[in-house]
């Protein structure tokens, strides 16, 4: 398969459909050779090709994370990229493969959270997703839940309702008090009524667990 010729930028397209179709084709055929080629093209001199390749890779990861999990280290290295598209794309891929390689992701949390701290909203969103997934892994649950609560304490009020809603699956009898306390401490900061009501709804749901 000639990967470059199938990428959106090579086809002079502005939409992402070619990249999505390529990802689907690779998933359907479990084409690991093409995945390896996509990873190698992440360092291509053409930024548009880099951007297309990370898009295809995380699309593959969202459909079948096992296919890209062996490239964990490549995605972690991209968190340092000056290309913002590669940075948040790598975080998206890491979110997709977290439950495939939970120990490796846990060991990289310092770098992941540091990147989220200075990264884009999409970067932060997927870092939250990573923490929530790790909360479901018994040996990492306590530590990652504490980190998740720290992130909820300092996240923007615009993102807080979504983060709180997504965190609900990680809430259990033994941690719900801290979760509710964390959200209650932020309520007065939320100026938009619709967003405050969303957080209040999460609090009510958590209280019933």
pLDDT, tens digit, for every residue of 79-137?
999 999 999 999 999 999 999 999 999 999 999 999 999 989 999 999 999 999 999 99
> What is the DSSP track for 137-194?
SGGGHHHHHHHHHHHHHHS-TTTHHHHHHHHGGG--TTTHHHHHHHHHTTGGG--SHH
> Considering only CA atoms, which of 3, 16, 73, 88 is closest in space to residue 44?
3
Q: Is residue 124 part of a domain?
A: no
- Decide if 181 is inside a domain: yes
Nearest to 19 by CA among 46, 69, 57: 57
Per the domain annotation, does 61 fall within a domain? no
pLDDT in tens, 28-66: 999 999 999 999 999 999 999 999 999 999 999 999 999
Total domains in the fold of the chain: 1
Position 1 confidence tier, pLDDT thresholds 50, 70, 90? low
For residue 10, the model assigns a pLDDT of 87
* Residue 164 domain boundaries: 157-209
Is the pLDDT score of 24 beyond 90?
yes
Q: Which residue has the higher pLDDT, 1 or 108?
A: 108
Residue 152 domain flag: no
The verdict on residue 3 lying in a domain is no
CA–CA distance, 111 with 105 (Å, rounded to integer): 10
Report how far residue 176's alpha carbon sits from residue 182's, in angstroms, rounded to the nearest whole number. 10
Sorting pLDDT into bands at 50, 70 and 90, what band is 73? very high
* 122-181 tens-digit pLDDT: 999 999 999 999 999 999 999 999 999 999 999 999 999 999 999 999 999 999 999 999
Question: Which two structure tokens, joined as six digits, stand for 109?
Answer: 């949390």
Q: With respect to residue 50, please indicate whether it lies within any of the assigned structural domains.
A: no
* DSSP H helices in 30-83: 32-40, 47-63, 72-78
Specify if 173 maps to a domain: yes
- pLDDT at residue number 64: 97
The rounded distance, in Å, linking the Cα atoms of 72 and 100 is: 10
CB-count burial class (<10 Å; 0-12, 13-18, 19+) for 208: exposed
Residue 162 covered by a domain: yes
pTM above 0.95? no
């Amino acid at each position: 398969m000639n990967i470059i010729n199938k990428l959106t930028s090579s086809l002079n397209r502005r939409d992402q459909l070619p990249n999505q179709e390529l990802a689907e084709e690779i998933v359907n055929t479990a084409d690991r050779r093409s995945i390896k080629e996509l990873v190698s093209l992440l360092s291509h001199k053409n930024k548009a090709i880099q951007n297309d390749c990370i898009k295809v890779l995380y699309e593959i990861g969202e459909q079948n994370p096992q296919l890209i999990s062996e490239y964990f280290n490549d995605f972690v290295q991209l968190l340092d990229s000056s290309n913002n598209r590669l940075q948040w794309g790598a975080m998206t891929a890491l979110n997709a493969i977290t439950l495939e390689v939970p120990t490796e992701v846990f060991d990289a949390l310092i770098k992941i959270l540091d990147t989220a701290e200075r990264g884009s909203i999409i970067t932060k969103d997927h870092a939250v997703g990573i923490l929530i997934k790790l909360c479901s892994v018994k040996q990492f649950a306590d530590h990652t839940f504490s980190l998740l609560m720290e992130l909820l304490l300092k996240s923007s009020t615009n993102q807080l309702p979504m983060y709180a809603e997504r965190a609900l699956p990680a809430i259990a009898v033994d941690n719900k008090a801290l979760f509710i306390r964390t959200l209650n401490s932020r309520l007065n900061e939320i100026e938009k009524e619709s967003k405050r009501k969303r957080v209040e709804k999460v609090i009510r749901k958590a209280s019933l667990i």
